[in-house]
Amino acid sequence: MFDEQVEHQGIIIHFNKSFLLQSDTDIFLKYNVFNNQGKPCHCLTEEIVALTNSYILLIKEERANQNGFGHQQVIRYLLKSLLIVLERVHRGDLEHNMNLTNRYELQYLQFRELLERQYKDGLTVSEYANKLHISTKTLTTITKSVTSKSPSELISKRVILEAQRLLSFTSLKVNKIGYRLGFEDASYFVKYFKRHLKRSPSEYRNLIS
Other CB atoms closer than 10 Å to residue 106's CB: what's the count? 14
Contact predicate 11/52, CB 8 Å: no
Separation of alpha carbons 122 and 183, rounded Å: 7
Question: 139 versus 104: which is more confidently predicted?
Answer: 139
What digits encode the pLDDT tens for the residues 69-94?
A: 999 899 989 998 898 888 888 777 64
Residues 193 and 113 reside in one and the same domain: yes
pLDDT, average across residues 167-182: 92
Residues 88 and 132 reside in one and the same domain: no
Q: Judge whether 2 lies within some domain.
A: no
pTM of the complete model beyond 0.75: no
Q: Which of 96, 116, 149 is the last residue of a domain?
A: 96
Q: Judge whether 6 lies within some domain.
A: no
Query: In the structure, what pLDDT confidence band is assigned to residue 109 with cuts at 50, 70 and 90?
Result: confident
Q: Which of 96, 116, 146 is the last residue of a domain?
A: 96
Q: What pLDDT was estimated at residue 134?
A: 94
Q: What pLDDT was estimated at residue 153?
A: 94
- Percent of the chain past pLDDT 70, that is, above it, reads 83
Residues 89 and 147 reside in one and the same domain: no
Q: Work out how many domains the chain is built from and give that number.
A: 2
User: 126-161 burial by CB neighbour count: b if 16+ within 10 A, else e?
Assistant: eebbeebebeeeebbebbebbbebebeebbbbbbbe
- CATH code: domain of residue 170: 1.10.10.60
Evaluate if residue 135 carries a pLDDT over 80: yes
What digits encode the pLDDT tens for the residues 13-38?
A: 887 767 776 555 455 555 555 655 55
Residues 135 and 76 reside in one and the same domain: no
